[in-house]
Amino acid sequence: MGDELEQETEDGASKAITKSGLIEKVAGRTPHISKKDTEVVVNTIFDSMTEALKEGRRIEIRGFGSFQVKIREAREGRNPKTGEEVHIPDKRTPFFKVGKELKEMVDSSFAAEASEGSGE
């Protein structure tokens, strides 16, 4: 990724929802299902995704995006303070690539706001 200047759109945690906020919102749309069950569903979704990544599998959620684990190979490094050689093991990091639909949803909402109220 480039060195573009970027800033978070929000100034604080108020503009964020957590997992419990997500559960609330989902529960609000599924009145025939108890909140407890909604919670189990949301947890199961993220647990099963975590398991898949742990097995090194790719996850593809159509319309949302994909997750993939990238491996940085083990290498021999050096402790910069002591000069001592150290073995640095493999490191696995999850990456998310946003899907086309969500990418456009996120960006077009911005374009819409910008054209409506640029006077603020």
Applying CB under 8 A, the residues found at the interface with other proteins are 4-10, 15-19, 22, 25-26, 29-30, 33, 37-38, 40-42, 44-46, 48-50, 52-65, 67, 69, 90-96, 98, 101-103, 105-107, 109-111, 114
Which of 78, 72, 77 lies closest to 91, judged by CA? 72
Nearest-angstrom CA–CA distance, 113 and 67: 29
Q: Between residues 19 and 78, which has the closer beta carbon with respect to other proteins?
A: 19
Token duo for residue 22? 């997500």
Token duo for residue 91? 């490191």
Least distance between other proteins and beta carbon 86 (Å): 16
